[in-house]
Amino acid sequence: MTEDTFNHAERSGFIERLGRLAGSTTWREPDGSGYTPPVAGALSPGNAMVLALSMARRNPKDVGPHIAYSVGTGQPHRRQQVVEWLADKLLRGTGPAGKKAERQLLVIAGQAYDLCIGMRQKVIPPRGAVTEFTLLVNVGAGWLWVAMEAAVERAERSLYGREGNVEKVDA
């Protein structure tokens, strides 16, 4: 297991998807500025993204929208709630490795969160860490990414009224 297991290259495509939820895009025509003036009565791009992500929430404990918002803004959002959720998930879902690292799971989950949202580039086990520390951080970052991807897929369906790539048609 290397420290480069978590793939940061997927971030740009994900941020483009968040931009589409917010009603904007990074695509620009070569001869245009890409600027669209605000329209009275229209949602601001930030509010549109927050609305779409809130529609993606399955239940009050769903952390996917929080993670997506953090990746989109580059700022931690409800970090403690997400870290506690992930530490509990790691304890329940990683068998003996999670049990062995139980006392360090909050630190592990914190590094996984920071890795996922782009605030950390490398896993740094603290002194006295369990041997599975890096493995658990990468597993946690993967679980956070999956939760975030699922939330954005639900947001896209909610906002655009689509199932997959096909628009819903009332028959």
Report how far residue 144's alpha carbon sits from residue 76's, in angstroms, rounded to the nearest whole number.
13
134-154: average pLDDT: 93
Q: Which range (17-31, 43-57, 91-105, 138-152) has the least confidence?
A: 17-31
Give the tens place of pLDDT for each residue, 104-123. Answer: 999 999 999 999 998 888 99
Strand partners, 166: 163
Query: Which residue type occupies 35?
Result: Y
Give the tens place of pLDDT for each residue, 19-64. Answer: 776 666 555 555 555 555 555 566 666 677 777 787 788 888 899 9
Q: What percent of the chain has pLDDT over 90?
A: 42
What is the pTM (predicted TM-score) of this model?
A: 0.72
Beta-strand runs (E) in the chain: 162-163, 166-167
**Burial zone of 171 (CB within 10 Å; 0-12 exposed, 13-18 middle, 19+ buried):** exposed
Label residue 166 by pLDDT band (50, 70, 90). Answer: very low
69-94: average pLDDT: 92
3-state secondary structure of 162: strand
Q: Please provide residue 72's backbone torsions phi and psi, each rounded to the nearest 5 degrees.
A: -65, -35
Q: 136 near 97, Cβ under 8 Å?
A: yes
Tally of CA atoms within 13 A in the half-sphere of 141 that contains its CB = 29
- Give residue limits of the domains in the chain: 8-25+43-164
DSSP H helices, the chain, are 11-21, 45-55, 64-73, 79-93, 95-100, 105-117, 133-160
